[in-house]
């Protein structure tokens, strides 16, 4: 599909209106990551999958025009058919737009929000440009700020450097302190790569104890090497040496999980672990990567181009431009619906037969570039790690799910993991079938954890 010329002065400022009849295929709610500076960033993180996307817009200034900002906010709000909308900014580095841009974004959101509509804001930033004015603004408008930091100094600085190759740890730490001073809600987004993946507890404890973060998200770094040796698009079976290895990812998750389940349930919020509990309770993990289908998490570029997903900002996944078509038309269109269904329809039989299928669903399509042991294409690169992780958490997840189902707090599981106590597995091994269950449910063991002998996820 043809790329737009982002700075074409003859480009129409037309602003398509909401169709009189919303397409039936339109989801009631969807999420968009807006990239007002495109891939432009003041840092040069070695593993960044987005920096090279500048190549798709040669000659661009990488700044979202003000009329396009208003068009985007209006269309995005019009397209949501729920009473709540989250306007999410990302990059590149979105703060390069300057604070006034975001002040105007809030004004436009107020202008177009329907009566009673709840508008929330989030921004993902490397933090290096934040100051008191930014943080006061975030506090006033209750932005949820995602701060990218990969762990303590040597682990963070391994790849997160500026354009001059200088480390950035001190600047990011200063940003975290500023956010705390202004009482801004922030979560930490840590990329797990070949270097920090071998230090899971150093990373996690740094976030919790030194940084004082309460929301932590871990993202595995998987950089596919294209045929020309670059990492521009999602193609190729080799990965860079910076990428986390599958078993390493599994060990990382397991180590952090063990720490969390012993000390931090209900105190530290990790979307991955919260999602696991939801899945073990029979619902959705609430993360697109673990859903059966996807397609409701898109990306909009600085010039209004809309792509199927933040991870697929490349020509084959360009849906159109919001200057030409209303956002709802692009989101509901067959190209995007097909993109979402393909996540399910392309899954190899090996995954469908997997005991962890109910929670994993083959994870994100961008990582599915291995062959299964049966020779089918489409196995997830991270599969070995996920399999180990899902098997490891099965027992504690069942316990937490049972606590929850009994109207109790899943955090009670920590009693069973207190330092110096017998591990639950050992405790269960010595509990009689008719004894009270050691989890404290009040039920007989055979009707509680003694009954859990099924497959992963079975109760
Ligand atoms: S491609 Fe991956 S990240 Fe993108 S929406 Fe689908 S599951 Fe989510
Ligand atoms: S753990 Fe592996 S085999 Fe199982 S569903 Fe996930 S990717 Fe497929």
Pocket perturbation via mutation, ligand 1, pick of 317, 336, 366 by most ligand atoms within 8 A of CB: 366
In 3D, which of 396, 404, 450, 454 has the Cα closest to residue 423? 396
> How remote is the CA of residue 196 from the centroid of ligand 1, in Å?
24
Give the integer Cα–Cα distance in Å for 236 and 273.
30
Locate tokens 């996540």: which residue?
343
Instruction: For residue 280, give the 3-state DSSP assignment.
Output: helix
DSSP string for residues in 295-336: --EEEE-TTSEEES-GGG-SGGGEEEETTTS-HHHHHHSHHH
Residues with CB under 6 A from ligand 2: 350-351, 354, 356-357, 360, 362-363, 380, 383, 386-387
- Catalytic position from the list 132, 310, 316, 345: 310
- What are 30-44's pLDDT values in tens digits? 999 999 999 999 999
Residues 282-305: b if buried by 16+ CB within 10 A, e if exposed: eeebebbbbbeebbbbbbbbbbbb
> How remote is the CA of residue 160 from the centroid of ligand 2, in Å?
31
Query: Residue 288: CB within 6 Å of ligand 1?
Result: yes
Phi, psi of 298 (to 5 degrees): -105, -175
pTM of the complete model: 0.90
Q: Is 310 one of the annotated active-site residues of the chain?
A: yes
The pLDDT assigned to 12 comes to 53
Give the integer Cα–Cα distance in Å for 24 and 28.
10
Pocket perturbation via mutation, ligand 2, pick of 352, 354, 388 by most ligand atoms within 8 A of CB: 354
In 3D, which of 379, 324, 304 has the Cα closest to residue 347? 379
Residue nearest to atom 1 of ligand 2 (CA): 387
Give the integer Cα–Cα distance in Å for 398 and 457.
7
* Residue scoring higher pLDDT (225 or 260): 260
> How remote is the CA of residue 233 from the centroid of ligand 2, in Å?
23
- Ligand 1 atom closest to residue 363's alpha carbon, by position in its atom list: 7
pLDDT of 5 strictly over 50: no
Q: How many CA atoms lie within 13 A of 43 on its CB side?
A: 28
Ligand that lies nearest to the alpha carbon of residue 387, given by its number in the listed order? 2
- Partners of residue 238 on adjacent β-strands: 225
Pocket perturbation via mutation, ligand 1, pick of 234, 291, 295, 309 by most ligand atoms within 8 A of CB: 309
Give the integer Cα–Cα distance in Å for 326 and 79.
9
Asked if 76 contacts 127 with a C-beta cutoff of 8 angstroms, the reply is no
pLDDT of 7 strictly over 80: no
User: Chain centroid to CA 29: how far?
Assistant: 17
**C-alpha angle 87/307/6, rounded to 5°?**
90
> How remote is the CA of residue 436 from the centroid of ligand 2, in Å?
36
| Mean per-residue pLDDT over the chain, rounded | 92
The pLDDT assigned to 445 comes to 80
Query: Residue 289: CB within 6 Å of ligand 1?
Result: yes
Token readout for 20 is: 């009189």
Residue nearest to atom 4 of ligand 1 (CA): 309
Query: Residue 219: CB within 6 Å of ligand 1?
Result: no
The pLDDT assigned to 4 comes to 46
> How remote is the CA of residue 354 from the centroid of ligand 2, in Å?
6
Tell me: cis bond preceding 92? Omega within 30 of 0 counts: yes
91-100, 347-356, 361-370, 428-437: least confidently modelled range = 428-437
- Ligand 1 atom closest to residue 289's alpha carbon, by position in its atom list: 7
- What are 188-214's pLDDT values in tens digits? 999 999 999 999 999 999 999 999 999
Mean pLDDT throughout 388-402?
Answer: 95
- Ligand 1 atom closest to residue 295's alpha carbon, by position in its atom list: 5
User: For residues 139, 144, 145 and 150, what is the CA-based torsion angle, rounded to 10 degrees?
Assistant: 140
Give the integer Cα–Cα distance in Å for 211 and 150.
12
- Ligand 2 atom closest to residue 382's alpha carbon, by position in its atom list: 7
- Ligand 2 atom closest to residue 379's alpha carbon, by position in its atom list: 7
- What are 303-351's pLDDT values in tens digits? 999 999 999 999 999 999 999 999 999 999 999 999 999 999 999 999 9
């Amino acid at each position: 599909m043809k790329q737009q010329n982002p700075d074409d002065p003859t480009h129409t400022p037309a602003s398509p209106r909401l169709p009189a009849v919303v397409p039936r295929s339109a989801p009631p709610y969807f999420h968009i990551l807006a990239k007002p500076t495109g891939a432009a960033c003041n840092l040069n993180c070695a593993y960044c999958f987005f920096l090279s996307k500048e190549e798709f817009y040669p000659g661009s200034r990488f700044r979202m025009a003000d009329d396009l900002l208003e068009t985007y906010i209006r269309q995005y709000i019009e397209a949501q058919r729920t009473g709540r909308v989250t306007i999410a900014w990302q990059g590149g580095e979105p703060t390069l737009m300057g604070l006034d841009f975001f002040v105007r974004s809030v004004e436009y959101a107020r202008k177009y929000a329907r009566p009673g509509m709840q508008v929330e804001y989030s921004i993902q930033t490397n933090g290096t440009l934040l100051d008191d004015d930014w943080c006061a603004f975030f506090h006033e408008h209750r932005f949820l700020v995602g701060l990218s930091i990969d762990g303590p100094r040597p682990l963070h600085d391994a790849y997160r450097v500026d354009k001059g190759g200088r480390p950035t740890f001190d600047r990011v730490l200063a940003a975290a302190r500023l956010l705390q001073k202004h009482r801004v809600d922030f979560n930490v987004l840590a990329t797990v790569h070949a270097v920090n993946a071998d230090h899971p507890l150093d990373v996690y404890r740094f976030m919790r104890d030194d940084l004082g973060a309460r929301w932590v998200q871990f993202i595995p770094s998987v950089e596919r090497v294209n045929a020309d040796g670059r990492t521009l698009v999602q193609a190729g079976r080799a990965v860079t040496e910076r990428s986390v290895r599958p078993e390493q990812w599994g060990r990382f998750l397991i180590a952090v999980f063990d720490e969390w389940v012993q000390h931090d349930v209900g105190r530290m919020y990790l979307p991955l672990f919260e999602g696991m509990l939801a899945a073990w309770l029979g619902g959705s993990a609430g993360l697109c990567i673990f859903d059966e289908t996807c397609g409701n998490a898109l990306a909009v570029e600085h010039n209004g181009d809309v792509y199927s997903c933040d991870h697929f900002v490349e020509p084959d996944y360009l849906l159109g431009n919001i200057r030409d078509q209303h956002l709802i038309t692009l989101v509901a269109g067959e190209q995007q619906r097909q993109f979402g269904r393909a996540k399910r329809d392309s899954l190899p039989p090996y995954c469908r037969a997997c005991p962890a299928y109910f929670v994993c669903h083959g994870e994100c399509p961008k990582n599915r570039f291995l062959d299964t042991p049966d020779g089918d294409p489409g196995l997830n690169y991270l599969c070995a790690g996920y399999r180990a992780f899902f098997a490891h958490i099965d027992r504690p997840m069942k316990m937490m799910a049972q606590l929850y189902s009994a109207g109790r707090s899943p955090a009670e599981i920590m009693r069973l993991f207190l330092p110096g106590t017998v591990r639950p597995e050992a405790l269960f091994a010595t509990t009689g079938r008719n004894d009270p269950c050691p989890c404290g449910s009040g039920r007989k063991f055979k009707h509680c954890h003694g009954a859990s002998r099924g497959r992963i996820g079975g109760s």
